[in-house]
């Protein structure tokens, strides 16, 4: 058994355990219906988190995700008002996300500024832009959106794999291929593992950094598209705080904030764990919604501690 899969397996085990706990608490919890709903509800944020995974793998951080989700929705809704087809608007916004991310990456590398600062500026910029365009929610009228969000593949047991979840799974497949089967992906791991060494080994650091943030921008724009289609609207406050949820998903998925270690697939389960916790607490009905955050926080903390000890044991063996 390859030890690099250990964090992923741990994440999956936690997911399964929480799912079983839910099943023990509530009769009809362990069903494909609940699973399908969790996937659909969290598809936008998990998709965006795939992009964040690359950024964190490279040792960086992207705070502009939530604003990107909001901005994409607002623009699509307004283009809809202007008569654009939603697919065309979505394509435009995916391109925008990619370029915006690339620009962030370029600034980070050329000016040698911490990604935290650059993407924080991106966060303000995009959120501000949302409010420049709209102050209120704008519905998307085009029938395509309603039809698209109604699509789904029936699952055994009565559940449905909704279109948003399908897009997310496709995005995951793309992410896995990029991370593990392309040179770009290997370079991301190298930069995150040891930047100086990567440079000396000949990794094109600038090109890769730009690519990483471009990918981050693309995935968060895709998350924005999923969200806009799923809710059939554009709302300037949509996705507030999503960047932190995305980071939490990545960390719960076994990716180390220090960079270089982790897997895109883990992020799916990390995001699902957060979704599960929310669902369980909502299922209860009597529990205060604040518990969602508290339980998520505790889990996150436990995970980080586990990670640290894992790294520690690796170091020990290295010294031997």
Calculate the alpha carbon distances from 252 to 12, 30, 66, 210, 267 in Å: 10, 22, 19, 26, 7
Instruction: Take residue 140 and report the two structure tokens written for it.
Output: 């998307």
Contact between 155 and 36 (Cβ < 8 Å): yes
Q: Give the closest residue to 303 by CA, choosing from 261, 249, 260.
A: 249
The only residue of 27, 28, 196, 286 in contact with another protein, by rule CB under 8 A: 196
Tokens 């440079």 locate to 199
Least gap, CB of 194 to another protein (angstroms): 5
The only residue of 82, 111, 290, 320 in contact with another protein, by rule CB under 8 A: 320
The only residue of 64, 67, 149, 187 in contact with another protein, by rule CB under 8 A: 187
The only residue of 17, 199, 293, 294 in contact with another protein, by rule CB under 8 A: 199
- Chain positions 256 to 315 lying near another protein, rule: CB under 8 A, are 259-261, 314-315
Stretch that binds another protein, among 48-56, 102-110, 191-199, 221-229 (CB under 8 A): 191-199
The only residue of 189, 213, 229, 230 in contact with another protein, by rule CB under 8 A: 189
Using CB under 8 A as the binding rule, whether residue 152 contacts another protein is answered as no
Instruction: Take residue 302 and report the two structure tokens written for it.
Output: 């436990």
Stated as kind and residue range, the H or E segment containing 138 is strand 138-139
Instruction: Rank residues 199 and 284 by Cβ distance to another protein and give the closer one.
Output: 199
Q: What would you measure as the largest C-alpha separation in the chain, in angstroms?
A: 67
The rounded distance, in Å, linking the Cα atoms of 307 and 251 is 9
- Chain positions 37 to 96 lying near another protein, rule: CB under 8 A, are none
The rounded distance, in Å, linking the Cα atoms of 254 and 275 is 16
The only residue of 197, 241, 284, 297 in contact with another protein, by rule CB under 8 A: 197
Stretch that binds another protein, among 10-18, 126-134, 218-226, 255-263 (CB under 8 A): 255-263
Least gap, CB of 251 to another protein (angstroms): 16
Residues sharing a CB contact under 8 Å with residue 244, sequence separation 6 or more, in sequence order? 66
Least gap, CB of 86 to another protein (angstroms): 31
The rounded distance, in Å, linking the Cα atoms of 250 and 158 is 30
Instruction: Rank residues 82 and 316 by Cβ distance to another protein and give the closer one.
Output: 316
Burial of 58 (0-12, 13-18, 19+ CB in 10 A): buried
Least gap, CB of 207 to another protein (angstroms): 11
Instruction: Take residue 43 and report the two structure tokens written for it.
Output: 């598809």
Q: Give the closest residue to 49 by CA, choosing from 279, 290, 263.
A: 263
Using CB under 8 A as the binding rule, whether residue 111 contacts another protein is answered as no
Least gap, CB of 97 to another protein (angstroms): 24
Using CB under 8 A as the binding rule, whether residue 181 contacts another protein is answered as yes
Q: For binding to another protein (CB under 8 A), which residues are involved?
A: 2-4, 177, 180-183, 186-187, 189-190, 192-194, 196-204, 259-261, 314-320
């Amino acid at each position: 058994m390859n030890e690099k899969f250990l964090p992923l397996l741990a994440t999956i085990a936690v997911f399964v355990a929480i799912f079983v706990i839910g099943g023990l608490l509530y009769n009809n919890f362990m069903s494909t219906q609940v699973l399908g709903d969790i996937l659909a509800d969290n598809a936008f944020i998990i998709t965006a988190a795939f992009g964040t995974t690359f950024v964190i793998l490279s040792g960086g951080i992207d705070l502009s995700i939530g604003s990107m989700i909001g901005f994409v929705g607002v623009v699509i809704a307004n283009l809809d008002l202007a008569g654009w087809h939603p697919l065309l608007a979505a394509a435009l916004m995916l391109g925008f996300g990619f370029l915006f991310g690339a620009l962030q990456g370029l600034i980070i590398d050329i000016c040698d500024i911490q990604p935290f600062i650059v993407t924080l500026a991106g966060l303000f910029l995009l959120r501000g832009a949302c409010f420049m365009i709209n102050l209120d929610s704008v519905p998307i009228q085009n029938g395509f959106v309603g039809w698209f969000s109604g699509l789904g593949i029936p699952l055994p047991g009565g559940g449905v794999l909704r279109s948003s979840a399908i897009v997310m799974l496709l995005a995951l497949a793309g992410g896995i291929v990029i991370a593990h089967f392309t040179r770009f992906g290997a370079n991301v791991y190298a930069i995150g593992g040891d930047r100086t060494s990567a440079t000396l080994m000949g990794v094109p650091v600038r090109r890769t950094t730009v690519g990483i943030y471009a990918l981050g921008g693309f995935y968060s724009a895709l998350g924005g598209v999923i969200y806009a289609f799923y809710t059939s609207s554009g709302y300037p406050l949509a996705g507030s705080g999503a960047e932190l949820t995305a980071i939490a998903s990545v960390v719960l998925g076994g990716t180390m904030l220090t960079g270089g270690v982790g897997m895109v697939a883990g992020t799916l389960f990390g995001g699902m764990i957060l979704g599960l916790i929310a669902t369980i607490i909502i299922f209860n009905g009597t529990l205060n919604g604040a518990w969602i955050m508290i339980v998520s926080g505790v889990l996150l903390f436990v995970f980080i501690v586990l990670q640290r000890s894992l790294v520690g044991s690796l170091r020990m063996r290295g010294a031997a």
